[in-house]
Structure 1
Amino acid sequence: MVAIPQSAGATATSTGGLAERLGPNVVGALWMFASAIVLTLQAAVVKHLGQELPIAVILFLRVLMISLMVGPMLIWRGGLRALATRRPLGHLMRAVFGLGMMAGSFYAVTVLPLADATALSFTRPLWSMLTSYLAFGEVVGWIGGIATFSGFGGVLVIAQPQSGIHPGMIIAVLAAASSSLALVCIKRLTTTEPVQRILLYFALTGTIVLALPAYLTWQTPTLIQLGWLIAIAITGSAGQLMSSLAVKHGDMTVVTPIDFVRVPAAAFIGFLLFAELPDVWTFLGSLIIFGSTVAILRLRRRPPVAPIEDPGHSPPTPTKS
């Protein structure tokens, strides 16, 4: 009798068991939650460092460091063939929208209170609802639509735009639109491309695009500033990787609202590190946002289960009511 090896099946069961029990949307939501916390920490470091170095230099060194970290790792794991892609245009579009998001959000963080800049970035769910419907046909229904618009209203409650429109606010909203489009590109690319390759081509494109602006505003960072830049690169790459995994596993209309966790996190960090005292509107808006997030997640976390048919019997014929 020939023994059947069990290692492959055991490995598949151990790695896929958790995802199967939770469901793809819940797994995607957990990845997005982790991404939200990491990217909030990155924003705090950017705000601190933005008072000392030009934004173009920060952006250039960040994407350069990501290239130097991800590139060798990808080649070591898969050789030069790991760099090959048949979707250069898709990578280029993802890089363009990703750079627009990163540049706009970095600028907004340095000129606005951390909580306000983060809150304004959450016009993204409104864009995501539109782009996910147009690109993938993902629909949450009218209840999910109301919940999403309510979350947007909560962002407006926090931002209080009637008190005056700072240029940073407009740039933050445009960055949110770019972020939504970047997520669409990531969602399409992950059907054939590993997330590490997506991240690498984003970083390489950014290094090329930002080389001239960085040169024109160059300021050599100190050792301490270099340490902060490394922290930005690590948290940024980790956050982007997590968000890529989030949209790979779950629907965009499910995982995107989880990113709202960044609002109260940013308010807390802004108070703790930068003496930015959030007012009552920040907390009220956060409650509205959390409520909308939970509503949408509950709507989409339990997909309908098809009935199991007994192969020995014909399914019952539905009766007309």
Structure 2
Amino acid sequence: MNEARSATLPMPHGFGQPLLAAAWMSLAVLSFSAMAVAGRELIGQLDPFSIMLCRSSIGLFIVAAILTATGRIPVIRTRRPGAHLGRNLAHFSGQSLWFYAVGQTTLAQVFALEFTAPVWVALLAPVFLGERFTGWRLATTAAGFAGVLVVVRPGVIAVDTGEVAALAAAICLSANIMMTKSLSRTEPTLCIMFWMTAIQVVLGAVMVAITAVVTGNGLPSLPDPAHLPWVLVVGVSGLLAQVGLARAFRHADASVAAPMDFLRLPLIAVVGMLAYGEHLDPYVFLGGAIVFLANYVNVWRSGRKAG
């Protein structure tokens, strides 16, 4: 979901063209929202693994077409197959949990809890990447978890499986972010995108087959013709979201572009209200804002150090 963002943070001060950054970030925000709606429409007919298989297959076709048309097929050569596999196991798990959560809880809650992925990165990066665990990082991590408690409110309301899945998805995606950060030091973006889609096609096919056997269905579930447009939306919007994020952070400092990403929360809350009758919960907005603020402070501090 947000791996392109992590691969490009932070950018040097003065890296301008904020209008272009805003345009690319708007594309990312709309694409993430479209993917969530498409996932909600599909989850009643397809399990998350089938959705992931469809998404990855479409993505692989598009990436392969771009590589062929531009004559850049050689960029897919890699000396780090194990790193690609590990990254995609984390991403596939996180994205599958994300699609499950989309079908179980409100879209706004899913997005608010998804914003905790950078908080988990801040907590785990000192262990896995050797980064320093500073006082600022400790404070912003604590603030991020406070935001989670505001969104979920355990002990006040019942915590549903969708919220647990969304939080687990954020943890998996944080591992994906850290591994993407490592890969981006040596691998071109198209190489990362190719192996992401190729590996996840295989993972999706394996999990769909296992699910069919375990459930006794015998054959994997396939989308009916009425749902094919939503399958296409999932596949295309997933790639467009990553492209939009990557381009946005190339045209402006993270401290300029990142706040626009938070617009996903109110936008998807309104979509959930209009399309699915979901209640606009002020606690979700408050908790999401706290999580975003914690992330933004980390981005701002990183930008100051890089400057």
The 2-side partners of 1:261 and 1:176 are apart by 18
How many residues align? The count is 285
Asked if 2 retains the 8 angstrom alpha-carbon contact of 1:195 and 1:241, the reply is no
Residue matched to 1:22: 14
Counterpart in the other structure of 2:183: 189
1:171 is aligned to 2:190? no
Partners of 2:149 and 2:168 lie apart in 1 by 15
| Aligned with residue 60 of structure 1, among 31, 47, 53 | 53
The one-letter amino acid paired with 1:207 is V
- Structure 1 counterpart of 2:71, which letter? G
Letter in 2 for 1:174: A
Moved over 6 A (4+): 29-33, 245-258
SS in 1 for 2:185: coil
How far did 1:249 drift?
9.6
* CA RMSD, 1 decimal: 3.4
Aligned residue number for residue 273 of structure 1: 275
Query: 1:12 matched to which residue of 2?
Result: none
- Relative CO higher for 1 or 2, CA cutoff 8 Å, sep ≥ 6? 2
SS of alignment partner, residue 46 of structure 2? coil
Is residue 255–residue 303 contact of structure 2 (8 Å, CA) maintained in 1? no
Alpha carbons 2:112, 2:288 under 8 Å: kept: no
Give the aligned residue type for 1:69.
I
Q: Is the 8 A contact 1:75 1:83 kept in 2?
A: no
1:221-300 matches, cutoff 5 A: 221-243=223-245, 259-300=261-302
Summarize the Cα distance change of 1:90–1:200 in structure 2 as closer, same or farther, 3 Å threshold. same
Q: C-alpha separation between the residues in 1 aligned to 2:146 and 2:257? A: 19
How much has 1:37 moved relative to structure 2? 4.3
User: What does residue range 103-118 of structure 1 map to in structure 2 within 5 Å?
Assistant: 103-118=96-111
In the superposition, relative to structure 1, how do residues 180 and 253 fare at CA in structure 2: closer, same or farther (>3 Å)? farther
1:41-80 pair list within 5 angstroms: 41-80=34-73
How far apart, in 2, do the equivalents of 1:248 and 1:233 lie?
24
The alpha carbon displacement at 1:99 in A equals: 0.3
With 229-238 and 249-258 compared, the bigger mean Cα shift is at 249-258
1:246 deviates by 7.3
Q: Which position in structure 1 is the counterpart of 2:118?
A: 125
Q: Please give the per-residue CA displacement for 1:2-44, whole angstroms capped at 9, x wherever unaligned.
A: xxxxxxxxxxxxxxxxx766349x99x9777754442232112
Cα distance in 2 for partners of 1:254, 1:111 equals 33
Opposite residue 233 of structure 2, the aligned amino acid is A
| 2:3 match | none
Match of 1:161 among 154, 166, 182: 154
Q: Which has the larger radius of gyration?
A: 1
Q: Please tell me whether the aligned partners of residues 154 and 286 of structure 1 are also in contact (alpha carbons under 8 angstroms).
A: yes
Shift of 1:229: 0.9
Aligned to 1:214: 208
The aligned amino acid for 1:41 is A
Greater Cα shift, 257-266 or 80-89: 257-266
Q: Which runs of 5+ in 1 are unaligned?
A: 1-18, 306-321
Alpha-carbon separation, structure 1, partners of 2:128 and 2:207: 33
Listed one character per residue, the Cα deviations across residues 156-204 of structure 1 (whole Å, up to 9, x for unaligned) are 2122232223233322222111101111111111112111221111111
The amino acid of 1:178's aligned partner reads C
Aligned to 1:152: 145
Counterpart CA distance in 1 for 2:255 and 2:161 is 29
TM-score, normalising length from structure 1? Answer: 0.75
1:190/1:135 Cα in 2 relative to 1: closer, same or farther (>3 Å)?
A: same
Gaps of 5+ in 2: 1-10, 213-218
